[in-house]
Structure 1
Amino acid sequence: MRISDDIHNYYENLVVAQFQQLKLEDNYDDDFIADLTCVVLNQLPTRYIRHEVDMSFYLPASERFEMESKVKIAINKALEFMKNNHIK
């Protein structure tokens, strides 16, 4: 068995979407965003998928809301951590 490039953690998409909504790229450079992404994703559970459409079709709205809430909390914690540790 070979792990395909198609397999990814669904939370990655949620994190990127939230970063875009918060316009973090307007305030931070690429290195900061990359570090922030790692800190955020390390706080979240993994949810591996092959096809985005599978999650869109089968994920109940309540579960998606919960996942999005976890992402927002993780981003806030990660920003606070990076601020307190002077990571720029």
Structure 2
Amino acid sequence: MKIADDIHNYYEKLVVQHFATLKLEERYDADFIADLTCVVLNQLPCRYIRHEVDMAFYLPASERFEMEGNVKVAINKALEFMKQHHN
């Protein structure tokens, strides 16, 4: 088993999805997005999974809604931080 291939943090997927919704890659360069991703993910708890299907079947809708809300808040905070501190 390779951890990098078999296990991932579900929040990574949610963050990437929300970045796409906000079209951040159209407004910022790759370095800014990479730094932003780190700042966002460092604010969120880890939720490790092996298979997406695990989350589809076992995650209650209320928890998914809460996770998505946490991602939105973390992205907003990270954007403010990055705008103030990124060169």
The TM-score bracket by the shorter chain reads over 0.9
In the alignment, residue 14 of structure 2 is paired with which amino acid?
L
Partner of 1:46, secondary structure, is coil
In the alignment, residue 12 of structure 2 is paired with which amino acid?
E
Where is the helix percentage greater, Structure 1 or Structure 2? 2
Tell me how many residue pairs correspond in the alignment: 87
- Structure 2 gaps of 5+ residues are none
Superposed CA RMSD in Å reads 1.3
Partner of 2:6, secondary structure, is coil
Q: Does 1:18 align with 2:26?
A: no
CA distance in 1 between counterparts of 2:73 and 2:3 reads: 30
Query: What percent of counterpart residues are identical?
Result: 78
Task: Find the counterpart in structure 2 of residue 32 from structure 1.
Answer: 32
- TM-score (normalised: structure 2): 0.94
Superposed structure 1 runs of 4+ greater than 6 Å apart? none
- TM-score (normalised: structure 1): 0.93
CA distance in 1 between counterparts of 2:81 and 2:4 reads: 33
